[in-house]
Copies of this chain bind each other. A is one copy, B any other.
Amino acid sequence: MESCLTSAVHRFLEQSVFSSAVFLAERLVAENSSESNVGLLAQAYYRSGDGHRAISLLQNGVHSPSNKYLLALCCYEAGRLAEAESALIQTKYDGKNHGNEVEDVPNGAAGLYLMGCICRRAGRIEHAIQYFTASLKEDPFLWSAYEGLCELGCEVPPEEFFGHSAREAINMQTLAKAKMQESNSKSKVELPRKTTPAKGKKAMSRTYTEKDRPTKLRQTTIHQELEETKTPSKPQYSSTCSSEQLVLKLLHDYGSAFQALSLFRCETALQLFKNLPQKQRNSGWVLHQIGRTYFEMANYTKAARIYQTIRENEPHRMSGMAVYSTILYHLKQEVNLSYLAQQVTDFDKRSSEAWFVAGNCFSLQKEHDTALTFFQRAIQLDPCFTYAYTLCGHEYAANEDFEKAIGCYRHAIRMDPRHYNAWYGMGTIYFRQEKFELAEYHFRKAIAINPQSSILYCNLGMVLHAVERNNEAIAALEHAQRLQPLNPTARFHKAKVLVAQGRYEEAHQELEFVQNAAPKESSVHFLLGKVAKKLGRIDDAMRYFNNALFFHPKDNHLIKAAIERLHEEDRDENEESLVA
């Protein structure tokens, strides 16, 4: 009777007929409340979206690894982190070996990964890294663990996980699975298809020797292999290259690229993503990452083009839309952003990214309160949406509610200490409040995370200039300029520092560059005028001031005053305020 009920429950779970699965599983448990039957019922509750019930059922005491895992999973999804953790590692307190915690986590790679997620959400980064690493060592296909590691800023090379040692891990894992299957006969193990083609393959020497070659070269070989295995005319390759090995190579390439992006090595990331096999490169996930890379490089036009392709190929893909909307915001493309917001919120009202897009849309239209509402709705739908907290902070900052803005940024940083945008946000607020030391501290924090960002160095330079550490300021601004040679902002600020230092000729040179790049920028003409006057070129100064007036018809009393005093000597005490 039990066997018949059990198989029926499995059948209905398989077919997602949850009501029948739950009913029959309840009958099964009424017949015999064995641990495995209770586990099956809990699984049915969980699958039917009733995690709370699964917790209640399981928390009376479970012993099998799969039940402990399920309990922990349900607790984690319900946000009950402490319970989730104790469900997984309770063995430590009643078990025999008090050694490495990692060894005590039940349910193999999935259990370790879950522990990693729990630690990450609880802010215990070191533990999270430890568990994610252990999880990947046990099952190198568990990509999310590697993603987690990258997002936490881990720099372990992907060879560590997807290289030659992974092969051994797979064997170990097969063994462990088999053992688990014995102890928990209810869990279905799906290995046959995977292990069968791998059997009898010993010719792994190719990969072993390849390990020391430079990355670029090895990758080419990998892709050659990938291509070659598809061609039936070259059987010697397809027979030496097992299915797993091919997947591991693919994961290795994905991993290298994703890690580079996570460490904000954008040029490298771009190259690695573009080196992926053609088929993979055009998939939504890869395009999203390439788009994100351009975004981090502040190359918004290219980034927008990539996301537009994603919209065309996969209109149902929500992940990435948050970034896309921020790109459209930076490009000030109101119409496109409105259209996107309309589309994604129509598509799925329960998607946090959709409401994030709507928030960006209203922010661009300077409707900051509405924008706040939408960002907060995004957070309600996904309480771990770090970026939404940061943009809430930006909105509060726009409303000059600095206290609330800082609260939001702090929240974002608590959730993800590597979210440099929040550190940047705090820096800008302290800068506006003239708390320059704090501003410097936060900009330097952001730079430590993303050392390739021109805008961060630019801001740091402005802070250093404000506290009159002008040489350091110039160094920072020059670094910013190197990182993004086409963006004139760094040069402009450098010119300001040079003016403050009395280095008018150099300032003039810089400003000439800036003027060519941004010919309609009133402040550039104004500063040029100031510099020309200092250099005694009064006619030039007049021309510059007039240009400044032309491009800035409103709020022009400063310019007019400068024109009026064109033939007077500059008073030094007034200097700073004019330049600032």
How far apart sit A15 and B142, CA to CA, in the bound complex (Å)?
Answer: 11
Question: Do A197 and B3 have beta carbons less than 8 Å apart?
Answer: yes
Closest chain B residue to A282, Cβ basis = B30
How far apart sit A181 and B138, CA to CA, in the bound complex (Å)?
Answer: 31
A91-108 Cβ-contact flags toward B at 8 Å (1 or 0): 000000000000000010
Sort chain A's interface into a size bin.
Answer: 35 or more
Query: Contact partner of A3 among B3, B57, B142, B243, CB < 8 A?
Result: B243
Comparing A119-127, A186-194, A431-439, the segment that makes contact with chain B is: A186-194
Question: Do B4 and A144 have beta carbons less than 8 Å apart?
Answer: no
Question: Do B30 and A279 have beta carbons less than 8 Å apart?
Answer: yes
Query: Contact partner of A52 among B20, B192, B348, CB < 8 A?
Result: B348
A12 sits at the interface (CB 8 A): yes
A264-299 Cβ-contact flags toward B at 8 Å (1 or 0): 000000000000000110111100000000000000
Query: Contact partner of A23 among B55, B143, B193, CB < 8 A?
Result: B143
Question: Do A7 and B52 have beta carbons less than 8 Å apart?
Answer: no
How far apart sit A35 and B20, CA to CA, in the bound complex (Å)?
Answer: 28
Comparing A244-252, A300-308, A528-536, the segment that makes contact with chain B is: A244-252
- Per the 8 Å Cβ criterion, residues 294-335 of A in contact with B are 314-318
Query: Contact partner of A31 among B10, B280, B351, CB < 8 A?
Result: B280
Q: A23-B285, A52-B348, A143-B20 are in contact. Are A4 and B110 (CB under 8 A)?
A: no
Copy number in this complex? 2
How far apart sit A30 and B144, CA to CA, in the bound complex (Å)?
Answer: 18
Query: A1 to chain B: which residues have CB within 8 Å?
Result: 229, 243, 246-247, 250
Interface centre among A1, A69, A250 (most CB of B within 10 A): A1
Q: A23-B285, A26-B285, A194-B3 are in contact. Are A107 and B348 (CB under 8 A)?
A: no
Further 12 A-B residue pairs, CB within 8 A, beyond A12-B110, A17-B113, A30-B279: A2-B243, A3-B193, A3-B243, A7-B192, A11-B141, A12-B142, A26-B284, A27-B280, A27-B283, A52-B348, A53-B317, A56-B316
A19 sits at the interface (CB 8 A): yes
How far apart sit A110 and B13, CA to CA, in the bound complex (Å)?
Answer: 11
Complex A-B: 23 CB contacts under 8 Å: A3-B193, A3-B197, A3-B243, A4-B194, A4-B243, A5-B247, A7-B190, A7-B192, A8-B247, A12-B141, A14-B188, A15-B107, A15-B110, A16-B73, A17-B142, A17-B144, A20-B143, A20-B145, A23-B143, A23-B147, A52-B348, A53-B316, A56-B315
Question: Do B7 and A194 have beta carbons less than 8 Å apart?
Answer: yes
How far apart sit A1 and B197, CA to CA, in the bound complex (Å)?
Answer: 10
Closest chain B residue to A279, Cβ basis = B30
A538 sits at the interface (CB 8 A): no
A24 sits at the interface (CB 8 A): yes
How far apart sit A142 and B7, CA to CA, in the bound complex (Å)?
Answer: 12
Interface centre among A3, A73, A254, A285 (most CB of B within 10 A): A3
A19-44 Cβ-contact flags toward B at 8 Å (1 or 0): 11001101101110000000000000
Nearest CB of B to A508, in Å? 54
Q: A11-B190, A69-B15, A247-B4 are in contact. Are A26 and B283 (CB under 8 A)?
A: yes
